[in-house]
Structure 1
Amino acid sequence: MYQVIIIEDDPMVASINKQYVELTPSFRVVNIFKSGIEALEYLQDNDVDLIILDYYTPLMNGSEFIDQLHAMGIAPSIIMVTSASDTDIVLQLLSRGVIDYLVKPFEYSRFKAALDKYSQMKEYVSQAKSNMKQGEIDKLLIRQESTAAAAANLTKGLNETTLGLIRAFLKENRDDAYSSEQIAEQIHLSRITIRRYMNYMVETGELISTIDYQTGGRPSIRYRYVKD
């Protein structure tokens, strides 16, 4: 389980970021801070794997926070989530070890791509030998690029946030199969809308569909989450 902290002074944005992080089961938000100063105090005594950082926070900006972090001898991975898109700022932060940079407003699929890239990198490195060969390094870089590219391929007309909610519900109940009507009731959307998402998730291999003939009437299609 990857331990995550969020540094964001807007409570609503911080809450959304927390929901996005925890839609991915291997990540857990352990704390939220309104400023880098508060986060640095916490990090003096607590280890984290990943920081979701807004550039514009009270008392110090993102660059100043990273400087202080490195001065403490701490270097967790950082995903920047901010409205700061000035070229100099972006290049400066990427040169300081920021592993991904999301410009507000962004959609869930892009956020998830950043988390996937991080977790795949950690998993790959943990399995690598003490000295990586050039081929292994190249594979790591390719993995990072392909994960980000996959986020851009979501079918037009589907909403990433809605897809994330449906996915989270089905993952949490992966031992059971549900009809579109049952899922619609849980997510509070129309059956027609849910069916569009079910078709997409079946095509991408996240779900399997079966036909239930024991309904006492018209057969019902049921869906179950199967992707690891």
Structure 2
Amino acid sequence: MASWWDRHGLPRLIKCACSQGQIMKLRSEVVPHARGHVLELGCGGGINMEFYHPDRIASFTGLDPSPELLAMSRAAAARCGIAADIRGGAGEAMPFDNARFDTVVTTFTLCSVTDQAAVLAEIRRVLKPGGTALFLEHGGAPDSGVAKWQRRIEPVWKRIGGNCHLTRPIGDAYAAAGFAVERRGAAYMPRTPRPFGWVEYGAARVAG
């Protein structure tokens, strides 16, 4: 049974932390590239809705495990005039047919899933041939000193932040899952403690 924090505190913390100005700027550089039949994995909160171009989207589907965040996402879709199929579920076992989507979007999502490799395999499965995974994620820093602090902080941070990991790979994880990765940006976010601030964003396509 979910605790009060999981049901009420955590969704609000996530929405607040993930909608800061510098993060919204990065979202604006990734999300508008979505085309065709779009799946947003970890859509809860509806933070990305304002960046989609409705005229470029044939259909929009959202998946998130949090009922509270899903309600926010549905409200955001309605405000933006986007017809959306937004449902509860986990990325490790998506309730969609093979080759269903042209674009899969993940933003600050892979840090908190239970099994990152399984989610990436599912993203590959539901993408059409030639489809694109657009990503904006935070994760393991390239600098050894920062990475050491990430390892120290992560056990406590996971309990506070809804299983949010600080040390997971980002672009390299997509590559290991069989994607050809185009990293469009990789840097520490300004005004953010470095253990929490390393982000990478870009596009990934099924290799071959």
For normalisation by structure 1, the TM-score amounts to: 0.30
For normalisation by structure 2, the TM-score amounts to: 0.32
Higher-helix-fraction structure: 1
Greater gyration radius = 1
Higher-strand-fraction structure: 2
